[in-house]
Amino acid sequence: MESNNNPFFSVILVAILLTLVCITNANPEIYHEFTVQEKTVTRLCKSHKIITVNGQFPGPTLDVRNGDAVTVKVTNKARYNVTIHWHGLRMMQNPWADGPEFVTQCPIRPGGSYTYRFVIQDQEGTLWWHAHSRWIRATVYGALVIRPKLGVSYPFPKPKLELPILLGEWWNRDIISVLQQALFSGAAPNISDALTINGQPGDLLKCSKQGTIRYSVNPGDSILLRVINAALNQQLFFTVANHKLTVVATDAVYTKPFTTNVIMVGPGQTTDVLLTADQKPGRYYMAARAYATAQNAPFDNTTTTAILEYKSATSQPILPPLPAFNDTNTVTAFSNQLKSPGKVDVPTKIDESLLFVVGFGFFNCSPGPRCQGPNNTRFGASMNNVSFVLPSTVSLLQAYTNKVPNVYTTDFPPTPPVKFDYTGNVPRGLWQPVRGTKLYNLKFGDNVQIVLQDTSIFSTEDHPVHLHGYHFYVVGQGFGNFNPSSDPARFNLIDPPQRNTIDVPVGGWAAIRFVADNPGVWLMHCHIDTHLAWGFAMAFIVGNGVGPSQTLLPAPVDLPPC
């Protein structure tokens, strides 16, 4: 047979071989079909149509094993564009399956479909999936449970029960109209009408008692709660009345176990906790409510509940105490206890040292209608003074791989263009960011450090920042302005926790490190969707390395057209 020297043929052949190798080494292929569709749902005494997957809210749980090859065909029968993001999955060499709209793919239009194909590689624990197209994820989300390979056990005694706990937000209005109104007016969007646990507000809210989630347990049962914050815009405290919680994992990475009364979970984050039913048989509320840090900003102050009930118990449920809405001390004490189970291999020789100043900004209103932001402005958000603008005719990944001109530039600043007192009084001349689609190039194998620094324009705030395609080590956190001379001396380079979403402390900073070992275009953004819509995002281009195992896979043939 004649050899084919066509480079395109070689890439296709490599992709086929890689796929065959992955599937051969994996468990049998896991296949799911997701149908995105409207459904009329009643909450808080009112009914309206929401977007669901397979008619379920929350959507179906994907239950897989480390090593599985997963195929999910998504068909869009709703009236809005949609994509699905598999939050926290590394997607090695395969950003085509990552899902953020106009970053790695164009959206699945109404009536269209797209099949996501990916392999679970060296990950286990709790993640989640959600829509990544405008605010559709308000109701389009579900748990992603990754079990160890067959024959491999958890690093803790196997629990009797495992319960996904999805914390969310509920609006009595169509969520896209809430977003459109905010973007038109320039003001902050209407807050949610209730918080939810597994789609239900709980019986402290009107018309909600009948739907309240109940979990029945026997005395002595050990229970693994897989807590997921799927809320659109709100960090949340979570606790269970009279029961201790032992934290064993965050963001699908095992942690050094520690016991606490309460956890804080930022939007996008997951926390696995073990609970033992060791109390007097009765009924106990699980409860969640806001951790809110922005000064003078409205937030949903409801408390959502579910019930942990010992079998045959009929007593009134006991409500646990919850921290004050602005209890940063409790959050700091909790996050300071998160550590890897043992010594880890943290990058120490740094190739790219980046400082990203993040937070709010304002745009002048004119020309246009009167704006409803502060002082007749329009709210914005930025990273290093760049307010991110998504393309609308092609995805960034397609523009990168096909060398499409005039879609983005690669001059995202590695440090703030202007240095200032980030958490002090910020001069008014620095309040307005610059709109742009600016990316940052990383070489394959670079050791990267990013310091994320909060700012006090309008208000300081705790920001949950998510990096697609990567886990990273959280080597340091603190309050005030990061000091490059003294703060690195206090970094934890022995057993820092690994995460995919880091809550940058209110009025403070967080330092993360990772190795750029996954080629492609990867979004980094605030997981508060209001802030993302205002421009709180950027993206990295990670180049190919050497050989097939370090090379971006080719685009799937059924990638949605733009």
pLDDT in tens, 142-176: 999 999 999 999 999 999 999 999 999 999 999 99
* pLDDT band at 21; cut points 50, 70, 90: very low
Check which CATH number belongs to the domain holding 251 and give it.
2.60.40.420
Q: Amino acid identity of 381?
A: A
Same domain for 374 and 515, yes or no, is: yes
- Tokens representing 3 are 């050899």
Query: DSSP assignment, residue 367?
Result: S
27-36, 283-292, 453-462, 538-547 — which is least confidently predicted?
27-36
Q: How far is CA 357 from CA 222, 314, 515, in A?
A: 43, 53, 21
Tokens 């402390």 belong to residue: 505
Same domain for 509 and 434, yes or no, is: yes
- The residues pairing with 378 across neighbouring beta strands, listed in sequence order, are 363
What is the structure's pLDDT at 375?
Answer: 85
- Tokens representing 314 are 């009929």
* pLDDT band at 458; cut points 50, 70, 90: confident
- The residues pairing with 538 across neighbouring beta strands, listed in sequence order, are 524
Average pLDDT over the chain reads 94
How confident is the model over 245-265, as a mean pLDDT?
98
Using alpha carbons, select from 377, 541, 351 the residue that is nearest to residue 446.
Answer: 351
| CA pair distance 458, 481, nearest whole angstrom | 17
| CA pair distance 118, 231, nearest whole angstrom | 25
What is the structure's pLDDT at 151?
Answer: 95
| CA pair distance 239, 30, nearest whole angstrom | 34
What is the structure's pLDDT at 370?
Answer: 80
How many domains, in total, are found in the chain?
Answer: 3
Out of 98, 132, 155, pick the residue that ends a domain: 155
| CA pair distance 86, 34, nearest whole angstrom | 13
pLDDT digits (tens, 9 = 90+) for 121-140: 999 999 999 999 999 999 99
Whether the predicted pLDDT of 255 surpasses 80: yes
| CA pair distance 97, 95, nearest whole angstrom | 5
Same domain for 265 and 324, yes or no, is: yes
| CA pair distance 527, 466, nearest whole angstrom | 6
Tokens 């709010």 belong to residue: 360
What is the structure's pLDDT at 28?
Answer: 62
135 belongs to a structural domain: yes
pLDDT digits (tens, 9 = 90+) for 333-376: 999 999 999 999 999 999 999 999 999 999 998 766 689 988 88
What is the structure's pLDDT at 529?
Answer: 95
Length reported for the chain: 562
Same domain for 242 and 298, yes or no, is: yes
Out of 338, 371, 388, pick the residue that ends a domain: 338
Same domain for 331 and 192, yes or no, is: yes
What is the structure's pLDDT at 3?
Answer: 37
| CA pair distance 278, 292, nearest whole angstrom | 32
Same domain for 481 and 449, yes or no, is: yes
378 belongs to a structural domain: yes
What is the structure's pLDDT at 23?
Answer: 39
pLDDT digits (tens, 9 = 90+) for 185-242: 999 999 999 999 999 999 999 999 999 999 999 999 999 999 999 999 999 999 999 9
| CA pair distance 92, 87, nearest whole angstrom | 13
Tally the C-alpha atoms within 13 A of residue 548's C-alpha that lie toward its C-beta.
12
31 belongs to a structural domain: yes
What is the structure's pLDDT at 192?
Answer: 98
| CA pair distance 145, 254, nearest whole angstrom | 14
418 belongs to a structural domain: yes
Torsion sign (Cα): 322, 325, 327, 330: positive
Same domain for 141 and 183, yes or no, is: no
Same domain for 321 and 449, yes or no, is: no
* pLDDT band at 24; cut points 50, 70, 90: very low
| CA pair distance 97, 83, nearest whole angstrom | 10
What is the structure's pLDDT at 367?
Answer: 64
Tally the C-alpha atoms within 13 A of residue 408's C-alpha that lie toward its C-beta.
32
Whether the predicted pLDDT of 410 surpasses 90: yes
What is the structure's pLDDT at 13?
Answer: 36
Whether the predicted pLDDT of 489 surpasses 60: yes
Same domain for 99 and 52, yes or no, is: yes
Phi and psi at residue 429, to the nearest 5°? -65, -15
132 belongs to a structural domain: yes
344 belongs to a structural domain: no
Whether the predicted pLDDT of 331 surpasses 60: yes
Same domain for 177 and 41, yes or no, is: no
State which residues form the domain around 91. 26-155
pLDDT digits (tens, 9 = 90+) for 46-91: 999 999 999 999 999 999 999 999 999 999 999 999 999 999 999 9
pLDDT digits (tens, 9 = 90+) for 418-450: 999 999 999 888 899 999 999 999 999 999 999
Q: How many CB atoms lie within 10 A of CB 272?
A: 26
Look at residue 467 and give its three-state secondary structure: strand
537-542: strand order across its sheet: 439-442, 537-542, 520-526, 463-467, 501-504
Look at residue 314 and give its three-state secondary structure: coil
pLDDT digits (tens, 9 = 90+) for 291-328: 999 988 999 999 999 999 999 899 999 999 999 999 99
190 belongs to a structural domain: yes
Q: Is 0.85 topped by the overall pTM? A: yes
Q: Where are the beta strands (DSSP E) in 19-79?
A: 30-43, 46-53, 62-65, 69-76
Close Cβ partners of 177 (under 8 Å, ≥ 6 residues apart): none
Q: How far is CA 350 from CA 358, 504, 515, in A?
A: 22, 21, 9
How confident is the model over 484-502, as a mean pLDDT?
98
Same domain for 202 and 311, yes or no, is: yes
pLDDT digits (tens, 9 = 90+) for 96-119: 999 999 999 999 999 999 999 999
Tokens 């080590």 belong to residue: 473
* pLDDT band at 506; cut points 50, 70, 90: very high
What is the structure's pLDDT at 312?
Answer: 87
